[in-house]
Structure 1
Amino acid sequence: MEIKAEFTIEPCEKENIKKIVDGINEYNLSKVPALADIWTRLEFVAKNENGTEIGGILAGLGYWNGLEIKILWVKEEYRKKGIGTKILKHTEKIAIEKGAEISMLDTFDFQAEEFYLKNGYKPIGEIKGFPKGHRRIYFSKQLTK
């Protein structure tokens, strides 16, 4: 079967997004079998005594049980009080219980570089000059029971 190289590029609709995700997942799983469900959400919020959100994390476990941290946030006036570390450790503990052996994330030098270093994360790469005058840093950490 001959495949022609003529094509168009168009904005994605919801059904297109599903096809793209399914396509990459099918390919990936043909190379390395899954260890877990597609995505296990590990998302938590920290609230103060009044029930106001003061921090939280959006993370999850992928096919190969890697903890992927997308966002970890603590409200500015609550920073440097150990809240971020407690949220992070809570999430790592649950991830380990579910079989995770590695955690990964990215941050910027003006965000939480020192925080992640203090919590045992190792820089594995960076993009200098993004955004201009700053760095985007990629971290990982081996998780242990």
Structure 2
Amino acid sequence: MKDYIIEESSKDEFNLVTKGITEYNLSRVPFTQDPPIININRVVKDLNGDILAGINSRLYCWNCLCIDLFWVKEGSRKGGYGSALLNEVERIAKEKGCKLIHLDTFDFQAKDFYIKKGYEVFGILDDCPIGHKRYYMKKNI
């Protein structure tokens, strides 16, 4: 007989799971930064205030930077906005003691851009989505 149920988490339950894994991680490897999560998010705007590009990243626990989302508006690509944003986020992360940056990108996104910026592929997930590749990349700074 089954003695458990599985259901969608509430916000409080989500936070409990997050707290649980954070406490476990901390018991195994001490955090090297305080606070444990520092968001480093930036946008590029034109002179009218319209957003042309943006990057969302977080410096977490051990001074590692994870680039979560990075976007340049169609029509604004090849204008140097992506390079400017990436350079800015890397600069801030380095100032805060970061030594490692990681991210993932798809074959239809920006792998070659990241390679030009010094990132290297350390893993590939095939058929994610079907017929495509997801690249896991890193850069030591």
TM-score strictly above 0.5: yes
> Residue 49 of structure 1: SS of its match in structure 2?
coil
For the aligned residue pairs, the C-alpha RMSD in angstroms reads: 1.0
Instruction: Please say if 1:18 is aligned against 2:15.
Output: yes
Letter in 2 for 1:12: S
Quote the offset at 1:76 in angstroms.
1.1
- Count of residue correspondences: 139
- 1:9-88 aligned at under 5 Å gives the runs 9-36=6-33, 37-88=35-86
Higher mean alpha-carbon deviation, 20-29 vs 36-45, is at 36-45
**What CA distance in whole angstroms lies between the structure 1 residues aligned with 2:130 and 2:139?**
27
Separation in 1, partners of 2:66, 2:127: 24
Q: Give the 3-state SS of the residue equivalent to 2:105 in structure 1.
A: strand
* TM superposition shift of 1:6: 3.0
TM-score of the superposition, structure 2-length normalised? 0.96
Structure 1 stretches of at least 4 aligned residues deviating more than 6 Å after TM superposition = none
How much has 1:80 moved relative to structure 2? 1.1
Q: Deviations over 1:18-51 (max 9, x none)?
A: 1000000010000000011221010011001211
Query: How far apart in 2 are the matches of 1:99 and 1:141?
Result: 14
Gaps of 5+ in 2: none
CA distance in 2, matches of 1:67, 1:136: 19
Percent identity over the alignment? 42
**CA–CA separation in structure 1 for the residues paired with 2:74 and 2:30:** 42
